[in-house]
Amino acid sequence: MRVTVDGMVVSLADDGASLLDAVRAAGVELPTLCHDDRMSPAGSCRICLVRSGGTVVAACVTPAVDGAVVEVATEDVATLRRESLELIVSALPPSALDGAEDGTTELARVCDSLGIPPETARGRGGRGRDDSHPYVHLDRDLCIACGRCVRMCAEVQGTFALTLVGRGSDTVVAPGTGGSWAESDCVSCGGCVDTCPTGALTEPGLPIGGAKPIATRTRTTCGYCGVGCSLEVLTRDGEVAAVLPDRDGPLNRGHACVKGRFAHGFLHSPERLTRPLLRRGGRLEPVSWAEALDHVARGLRDAIAAGGPDAVAAISSARATNEENYLIQKFMRVAIGTNNVDNCSRLCHAPSAAGLTAAFGLSGGTDSFDDVEKADCLLVVGANPVEAHPVVGARLLQRVLRGSRLIVADPRSVGLARHADVHLRPRPGTNVALFHGLAHVLLTEDLVDAEFLRHRADGLAELTALLADYPPERVAAVTGVPVGELVAAARLYGRAEQPAIVYGLGVTEHLHGTDGVRALANLAILRGAVGTDHGFGVNPLRGQNNVQGASDMGALPDLLPGYGKVIDPAARVRAETVWGVPVPDRPGLRIPEMFAAAREGTLRALWVIGEDVCATDPDATRVAEALEACPLVVCNELFLSETAQRADVVLPVASWLEKDGTFVNFDRRFQRVRPALDPPGQARTDFAAVHALAAVLGVDLGCRTSAAALAECGRLAPIFGGLSHERLDREGAIPWPCQDPGHPGEAKLYRKRFATPDGLAHLSACPYLPPGETPDDDYPLILVTGRRWAHYNSGSMTRHTGNIRLDPVDRLDLHPADAARHGLHDGDPVTVESRHGRAALTARVSDETAPGQVFCAFHFPSSGVNTLTSDRADTVTSCPEYKVTAVRLRPLA
């Protein structure tokens, strides 16, 4: 299509381009105010008026047609634009056009470009402010009712929390629920603040007008969840003034969530650790680094003298960088001589690593999220991305609002479930039966890809035989999912042209989590929807910012960097060649085995780096016993966590905003992490702490810088061979596998063959087996544990930020019927008891959970949620059964 703009001819694609697009393509200047490219146009401000076909129209809402002739610069339309703007500005109070360097608003800039002088603003104001919310403040007098915030909240974030109220020039944004902003449905993504052109919506760190200039802007990657949002950190006087989402961020595209964007107050919390601590006479006392490290070195030597290298173990941190994880596992293998190193992948997606490797060959998700998002049918299983991966949740919802079908499989009615075509609500712990039921329907209704199954997959005969036992009626009896819904879901997934599977901990954190992953993978294989152009595979929403990377770097007892097995002589030789020492050939202890060994007395030194095992590992009472029994417990921490409180030595360390390196996000992308601040007091990075301890032990680990650590890792792990800090600085995010520096990385895997030994995808014929705990007369309810949007895991960071005002207590969700039976009301204190422990929570009556099921998070260690959970764990990987615990309730007397 060709359009003429002020005499210039431009060609445009025929895909719904507007006249504004044409004007921009011609490079002609045209101001806008109510427009934001990320959202549908509103056409309400009339600043973008142009003449086309003889009439004056708003360019942003007028479709471009072939042959259109557009006048922009003509004097009379320019005057109309000025008058529209004058009308808007004249209603605003004089302060509206103030502006300091960083506070300059889009409105001030547009006024400047159209020559509207500040005096034009002469409204009376007096409509008041809403400062009830910790992060989003509203000055009603500055609102021009352009509706950008409302559209941002609906179309980009998907929360629909805002609306416009009032009439004419009194129209103003307000929470849709009425009441104050703090009481609204707002989830504090900050999108409304970003898009507001006038400064009516602001955040505390970035006041409009008179603010001190920002000193530094640092581009980095969020250190909370595995989405891996790209962020720009603005600092002033050694403090974070604001964190803004990066418009060019490959995952977030200018969006973020309450954690990455606002939860940085922990940095300067008075409770932040700034000095090493050493236990003396039962109390932790501040000491120098030298003294702390000497004590640790002595303890390690004693442990090795008494029990050999395998008497020492380390839990590495999925919160730390790749380079730190690489160095930690190298320390254990080279300086100590043991494979006893593990990371919190054990607690969440170890079953994904095992299941996906068995099915397809590699341990990561099969596809790039960008492609997943093109799907015409999304199957979201046991994941609550709206709360746990909010930017992914928002992008999935955008896809659904644009027409993709959605199947949600989750016992709870949360987040995306409200927008689902079919919401399957299996009883917790019955996934394998559910997935087999879906597979049964795919087979019997011939919704499978026979060609793919013949040439690229293996195991169909065994699976077909097994599935005979899983007709929908039997599956309905096991899972509680009605036959009609099961069949409807199978048909949606089976008939879609581009189906995608996205899943979370509701699949993995079970007694048979690995079977769950494999049974789920069966569906994609049956459909030929993995490694082909007919779908977007099977994609785990990995949890921690760098849990994928911690495992990639070999912080695992059985695997070396890049997933070479410690039992494979060839893989050991590759590492030994680079490290210059022999690598032990026996797999080390997994996290639960470490605790068991400590209780038995065979583990004599444990280094816990960035995991609050006493709060977040299951059956926490027994974990505390293990630490108690272990002669030396060292803990690298930001705060005096439950674990740090029980340690013999606590080393104060830097957080993600204070260090350099890389993280790998949930879809296998390496991204750079850069320090925006110095660590407080004597805190050091985990990287520096590991080097310092190695030095005291007389071992030189090499790789002095984090760039050198990644380079060294690439030399022994071929799948990372093409990665370097320098390249990431130049190119941004790069997915693994990436074998050489000229290769862009493989965002989508298995196009030609699967990475299994025979090159085929492997179907799994694992039977359904019941969960480890089932309700009985003593413990009649099933407790499911998981996440809430405002807090992060142990809560050590988010509880030390303004987020505590958004979510101040640990609540137990229970169905109104169960609440009535127990005489409980919303807000009542309630004691939850299991066979293993007891927790104190606050009741939240809600129909999000089914009758007989209750739900809580674990963000407040003081409530004791993980004393409830059992030590039952996935039979293949030891991932805890966090999702199923039999409990009973007692109202607090």
Ligand X SMILES: Nc1nc2c(c(=O)[nH]1)N[C@H]1C(S)=C(S)[C@@H](COP(=O)(O)OP(=O)(O)OC[C@H]3O[C@@H](n4cnc5c(=O)[nH]c(N)nc54)[C@H](O)[C@@H]3O)O[C@H]1N2
Q: For residues 261-280, which are near ligand SF4 according to CB under 6 A?
A: 261
Q: Encode 28-68 in three state secondary structure.
A: CCCCCCCCCCCCCCCCCCCCCEEEECCEEEEHHHCECCCCC
CA angle 845, 867, 516 (to 5 degrees): 75
> Any residues with CB less than 8 A from the CB of 858 and at least 6 apart, and which?
615, 616, 785, 793, 794, 810, 865, 866
- C-beta of 34 vs 738, nearer to ligand FES: 34
Looking at the DSSP bridge assignments, the partners of residue 82 are none
- When asked if residue 23 is in the footprint of ligand FES (CB under 6 A), the reply is no
Amino acid at 556: L
Amino acid at 21: D
- When asked if residue 150 is in the footprint of ligand FES (CB under 6 A), the reply is no
Contact yes or no for 622/595 (Cβ under 8 A): yes
- C-beta of 456 vs 669, nearer to ligand SF4: 669
DSSP secondary structure letter of residue 212:
P
Tokens linked to 844: 């939240």
Element holding 79 (H helix, E strand): helix 75-90
Q: 611 touches which of ligand SF4, ligand FES, ligand X, none (CB within 5 to 8 A by kind)? A: ligand X
- C-beta of 116 vs 244, nearer to ligand SF4: 244
- C-beta of 60 vs 257, nearer to ligand SF4: 257
Element holding 734 (H helix, E strand): strand 734-735
CB of 92 to ligand FES, least distance (A): 16
CB burial of 262-293 (b: ≥16 within 10 Å; e: otherwise) equals bbbbbbebeebbebbbbeeeeebebbebeebb
- When asked if residue 50 is in the footprint of ligand SF4 (CB under 6 A), the reply is no
Q: Encode 413-471 in three state secondary structure.
A: CCHHHHHCCEEECCCCCCHHHHHHHHHHHHHHCCCCCHHHHHHHEECHHHHHHHHCCCC
- Going 606 to 612 to 617 to 622, the CA torsion angle's sign is positive
* Nearest residue to ligand SF4 on Cβ basis: 260
Element holding 82 (H helix, E strand): helix 75-90
Q: For residues 27-56, which are near ligand FES according to CB under 6 A?
A: 32-35, 43-48
Q: 702 touches which of ligand SF4, ligand FES, Mo ion, none (CB within 5 to 8 A by kind)? A: none
CB of 251 to ligand X, least distance (A): 14
Q: For residues 379-438, which are near ligand SF4 according to CB under 6 A?
A: 389-391
- C-beta of 76 vs 248, nearer to ligand SF4: 248
Distance between CA atoms of residues 368 and 360, nearest Å = 15
Provide the angle, in degrees to the nearest 10, between the axes of the packed helices 460-467 and 431-444.
100
Q: For residues 489-528, which are near ligand X according to CB under 6 A?
A: 504-506, 509
- Give the interface segment with ligand X, choosing from 79-87, 527-535, 697-705, 782-790 (CB under 6 A): 782-790
- When asked if residue 637 is in the footprint of ligand X (CB under 6 A), the reply is yes
Distance between CA atoms of residues 552 and 357, nearest Å = 13
Amino acid at 703: C
Q: Which member of 287, 348, 713, 717 binds Mo ion (CB under 5 A)?
A: 348
Q: For residues 490-549, which are near Mo ion according to CB under 5 A?
A: 543
- When asked if residue 551 is in the footprint of ligand X (CB under 6 A), the reply is no
Residue 214, burial from CB neighbour count under 10 angstroms (0-12, 13-18, 19+)? middle
Tokens linked to 712: 């060294």
- Give the interface segment with ligand SF4, choosing from 43-51, 221-229, 273-281, 323-331 (CB under 6 A): 221-229
Q: For residues 560-599, which are near Mo ion according to CB under 5 A?
A: none
- C-beta of 411 vs 543, nearer to Mo ion: 543
- When asked if residue 611 is in the footprint of ligand X (CB under 6 A), the reply is yes
Q: Which member of 64, 97, 229, 887 binds ligand SF4 (CB under 6 A)?
A: 229
- When asked if residue 227 is in the footprint of ligand SF4 (CB under 6 A), the reply is yes
The footprint of ligand FES on this chain (CB under 6 A) covers a number of residues equal to 12
- When asked if residue 786 is in the footprint of ligand X (CB under 6 A), the reply is yes
- Give the interface segment with ligand X, choosing from 2-10, 49-57, 426-434, 819-827 (CB under 6 A): 426-434
CB of 9 to ligand SF4, least distance (A): 42
CB of 41 to ligand FES, least distance (A): 6
Contact yes or no for 343/608 (Cβ under 8 A): no
- 598 SS3 class: helix
Q: What is the CB neighbour count within 10 angstroms for residue 101?
A: 9
- 834 SS3 class: strand
Distance between CA atoms of residues 61 and 157, nearest Å = 22
Q: 47 touches which of ligand SF4, Mo ion, ligand FES, none (CB within 5 to 8 A by kind)? A: ligand FES
CB of 61 to ligand FES, least distance (A): 6
DSSP secondary structure letter of residue 667:
T
Q: 133 touches which of ligand X, ligand SF4, ligand FES, none (CB within 5 to 8 A by kind)? A: none
Provide the angle, in degrees to the nearest 10, between the axes of the packed helices 706-716 and 322-330.
70
CB of 440 to ligand X, least distance (A): 17
Q: Which member of 257, 763, 781, 782 binds ligand SF4 (CB under 6 A)?
A: 257
Q: Which member of 19, 39, 200, 225 binds ligand SF4 (CB under 6 A)?
A: 225
Query: What are the backbone dihedrals phi and psi of residue 846, each rounded to the nearest 5 degrees, phi first?
Result: -160, 150
Tokens linked to 781: 């309810």
- 840 SS3 class: strand
Contact yes or no for 22/68 (Cβ under 8 A): yes
- C-beta of 81 vs 395, nearer to ligand SF4: 395
CB of 16 to ligand FES, least distance (A): 16
The footprint of ligand X on this chain (CB under 6 A) covers a number of residues equal to 62
- When asked if residue 327 is in the footprint of ligand X (CB under 6 A), the reply is no
CB of 635 to ligand X, least distance (A): 8
- 267 SS3 class: helix
Radius of gyration (C-alpha) of the chain in whole angstroms? 28
Q: Encode 165-233 in three state secondary structure.
A: ECCHHHCEEEECCCCCHHHCCCCCCCHHHHHCCCCCEECCCCCCCCCCCCCEEEEEECCCECCCCEEEE
- When asked if residue 675 is in the footprint of ligand X (CB under 6 A), the reply is no
- C-beta of 228 vs 382, nearer to ligand SF4: 228
Q: Which member of 32, 230, 366, 636 binds ligand X (CB under 6 A)?
A: 636
Q: For residues 858-877, which are near ligand X according to CB under 6 A?
A: 858, 865-866, 869
Element holding 21 (H helix, E strand): helix 19-25
Q: Which member of 414, 647, 711, 719 binds ligand X (CB under 6 A)?
A: 414
Q: 58 touches which of ligand FES, ligand SF4, Mo ion, none (CB within 5 to 8 A by kind)? A: ligand FES
Query: What are the backbone dihedrals phi and psi of residue 184, each rounded to the nearest 5 degrees, phi first?
Result: -85, -175
Q: For residues 41-60, which are near ligand X according to CB under 6 A?
A: none
Q: For residues 369-388, which are near ligand X according to CB under 6 A?
A: 381-385, 387-388
Polymer length in residues for the chain: 893
CB of 659 to ligand X, least distance (A): 7
Alpha carbon of 495 to those of 376, 487, 523, 751: distances in Å?
10, 12, 12, 22
Q: 43 touches which of ligand SF4, ligand FES, Mo ion, none (CB within 5 to 8 A by kind)? A: ligand FES
DSSP secondary structure letter of residue 678:
P
- Give the interface segment with ligand SF4, choosing from 251-259, 301-309, 651-659, 851-859 (CB under 6 A): 251-259
Residues that bind ligand SF4 (CB under 6 A): 222, 224-225, 227-229, 252, 256-257, 259-261, 389-391
Residues that bind ligand FES (CB under 6 A): 32-35, 43-48, 58, 60
Residues that bind ligand X (CB under 6 A): 225, 317, 319-320, 344, 347-348, 381-385, 387-389, 409-412, 414, 426, 428-429, 431, 504-506, 509, 541, 543-544, 609-612, 616, 636-639, 641, 653, 655-656, 686, 784-787, 789, 791-794, 796-797, 858, 865-866, 869, 882-883
